[in-house]
Amino acid sequence: MMKKMIYCLALCACSHLVSAQQRPVYQDETQPMEVRVQDALRRMTTEEKVALCHAQSKFSSPGVPRLGIPELWMSDGPHGVRAEINWNDWGYANQTNDSITAFPALTCLAATWNPEISAIYGAAIGEEARYREKDVLLGPGVNIYRTPMNGRNFEYMGEDPYLASVMCVPYIQEVQKSGVAACVKHYALNNQELWRDHIDVYVSDRALYELYLPAFKAAVEQGGVWSIMGAYNKLRGQHACHNDLLLNKILKQDWKFDGCVITDWGGAHDTYEAAINGLDIEMGSYTNGLTSESAFTYHDYYLANPYLKMLKEGKVPMNTLDDKVARILRLIFRTGMNTRKPFGSVCTEEHYAVARTVGNEGIVLLKNSPVVKKGQPLLPLDASRYTKILVVGDNATRMLNQGGGSSELKVKDMVSPLAALQAIYGDKVMYAQGYAAGRPMYGREEKIAPEVTDRLRAEAVDKAKEADIVLLFGGLNKNHFQDCEGGDRLTYGLPFGQNELIEELQAVNPNLVLVLLSGNAVEMPWVEKVPAIVQGWYLGSMGGHSLADVLSGKVNPSGKLPFSFPRKLTDCGAHAFDALSYPGDSIKQEYKEDILVGYRWHDTKKVPALFSFGHGLSYTTYTYGKPVASAKQMTADGTLSISLKVKNTGSVAGKEIVQLYVGDDKCSVLRPVKELKHFTKVSLQPGEEKEITFEIKADDLKFFDETAHRWKAEAGKFKAYIGASSTDIRGVVPFELKD
């Protein structure tokens, strides 16, 4: 902070001494960006240019001190700005002024299906990053949910490329209004953590272009993102952080990306490839193969002295360097040298309100069946019906901001579900831990003694016998081999003996509500016995309040799943083949399900999901009118409108997510039964009815033609499906695309 204050004061002082005409052009923000960039380039030595291309500490890269061009400061932070890390190792700096707001993880944001919520999320986290003097916020993550075993799915936005695209754009735009660059990650195909640093992914062009690239493309072309983070893995034999296809041909040539490509930390592996294949800034490399960096300096990075040597020897063109530096300068001018950026703020009541709102809209009510004795659903909790409420579960009190790898957050405030429920229901609430999950750990799993597990379960079951209702807060956590960077899950089932706990609790008290806190789907062998199930995600600082708001009925749940819940692991497309499909053979991997990911697989292969993509219940009911098309045919340059009315037929206000899918009845290539193309979230008072109109264009009908290497819509018959989920279809409209 002191360095930046000195820089700003010096710049201000110089402005009084040097007239506007004498000031260097690159410092003049009234000049066009490219004029400033070229002026700065002309003034820099080759050594100064190379210095910009690699780290100078764990989370910063150099500027040009001689020219007053500041360094870049980066931070992990897709759902909160990470605590300060030491200059030259991974230890925390233990500062006292780096606590922040933990916002809900991005799976929860995707589950809101609400771009307006994404915008306020981006604005709030951008303000926190700006206050913490960060230039680059390493997020959002938009990798596609291919398998529920991926330990990092909680950082991403689900299985559908259209949903991820729509949700990431406003996040990016609002973050960057604070003068902080979003850094969309991990580009591309980082769909598992096991062997992530070297697994070589082989995927068809169709799957690449139709599923795994659209959200990145939207981030660039619609969001105007200023930086992209390369992935650890390889694609077709070449590391993603210096991959000619991904970076040169697609990102920079086809999409006209003018920003900066930054490695994931340690993602660079070769100087020549890094020089010519589109990498701009190298971060986090280990050049001596050790975990300690005392034996070398940052000048030993691939894009440091080795790159300078190759440039001087003529082994790589000098224009590769100028292109990299031009991109880095744009990033610096947009962030560190942007004198118009706001000051930012952190841990404000407004930010806490945003976190709570995101959680309220993202929580998904999966199941809410009537209990025979009561004759009505368990949720929302009616305080007049219950005098003894038993809260069970490690996750009812656990700090779920801790662990998880780079997403670990140091919070100023954290409201637990237990505390939030006690604030509403007072001494009606009892607590039993029920199961033990061990400390938040990274790199290994803490083992819990069987006698401890048995004792905690027995205590919870005994208390459940006396309770009117049981609320079990279970799921996963941020320990290694669960929802955590650096390793995939070991099993699809719930850990820590939770299955046994659920069975025993239900046996003594049928009034059981299960609240799953996780970023992943889980196996549910007891699903028919548990009357109410809530998907609660990782909700951050105000997570307890959000859960209490929904459980109590203060907020009507309106979230819907951004990914499918397979009944068993082999029902997921990635796991329906041999091990080469997942997890690979440790060297190579083939995406054998191809374009059939998530609901596309369940629909096309007729393998029903346990809970479908787009599924989510409410405390009210909605009726859908018959959808009507503006015409029976459309042309390639035309538009087809589909309208319908949606009515709240219940007794409480709510928000419904109306989804439009399109299916191609007959095509020259395999296509899914249907694909999400539009959606809208509509607010309705009891008895209120609104008309919704969707517009279908030819782009909504296209697939990627691998032979012609272009997007193509074939003339013929299509269907528009209007649904409350991918399987809850309320109306179908046939239409035809003419030549």
148, burial (CB in 10 Å: exposed 0-12, middle 13-18, buried 19+): buried
Res 354 pLDDT > 90? yes
Q: How far apart are CA 231 and CA 203, in angstroms?
A: 15
Q: How far apart are CA 535 and CA 557, in angstroms?
A: 11
**pLDDT for the residue numbered 90:** 87
Please choose, from the candidates 41, 57, 39, 37, the residue with its C-alpha nearest in 3D space to the C-alpha of residue 49: 41
Residue environment code for 1-33, b if the CB has 16+ CB neighbours within 10 A, otherwise e? eeeeeebeeeeeeeeeeeeeeeeebbbeeeeee
Residues 6+ apart with CB under 8 A from 633: 735, 736, 737, 738
User: Domains of the chain (ranges plus CATH)?
Assistant: 2-334 (3.20.20.300), 356-563 (3.40.50.1700), 620-737 (2.60.40.10)
- The predicted model scores a pTM of 0.95
* Lowest-pLDDT choice from 89-93, 126-130, 223-227, 250-254: 89-93
* pLDDT tens-place string over residues 537-546: 999 999 999 9
Residue type, 324: K
Q: For residue 402, is it left (φ>0), alpha (ψ between -120 and 50) or beta? A: beta
Res 78 pLDDT > 90? no
Q: Alpha carbon of 680 to those of 50, 64, 139: distances in Å?
A: 47, 47, 25
* pLDDT tens-place string over residues 609-625: 999 999 999 999 999 99
Tokens coding 591: 């995406």
Q: How far apart are CA 449 and CA 439, in angstroms?
A: 13
Structure-token match 């002024």, residue found = 97
* pLDDT tens-place string over residues 360-398: 999 999 999 987 555 789 999 998 888 999 999 999 999
Residue type, 707: T
Cβ atoms of 140 and 96 closer than 8 Å: no
Cα 43 to its chain centre, rounded Å, is 40
Considering the candidates 264, 394, 488, 549, report the single residue annotated as catalytic.
Answer: 264
* pLDDT tens-place string over residues 437-462: 987 666 667 788 899 999 999 999 99
Q: Where residue 17 falls among pLDDT bands split at 50, 70, 90?
A: very low
Structure-token match 């930012």, residue found = 344
Rg (CA), the chain: 26
Concatenated DSSP letters of 340-357: T------S-HHHHHHHHH
Q: Alpha carbon of 86 to those of 83, 89, 721: distances in Å?
A: 10, 6, 53
**pLDDT for the residue numbered 291:** 45
Percentage of residues in the chain with pLDDT exceeding 70? 95
Average pLDDT on 107-124 reads 98
* pLDDT tens-place string over residues 262-277: 999 999 999 999 999 9
Cross-strand bridge partners of residue 683:
655
**pLDDT for the residue numbered 210:** 98
3-7 contacts at long range (C-beta below 8 A, 24 or more positions apart): 4/70, 4/133, 4/336, 7/68, 7/70
200 is annotated as an active-site residue? no
* pLDDT tens-place string over residues 145-192: 999 999 999 999 999 999 999 999 999 999 999 999 999 999 999 999
Average pLDDT on 589-606 reads 98
Please choose, from the candidates 470, 485, 316, the residue with its C-alpha nearest in 3D space to the C-alpha of residue 388: 470
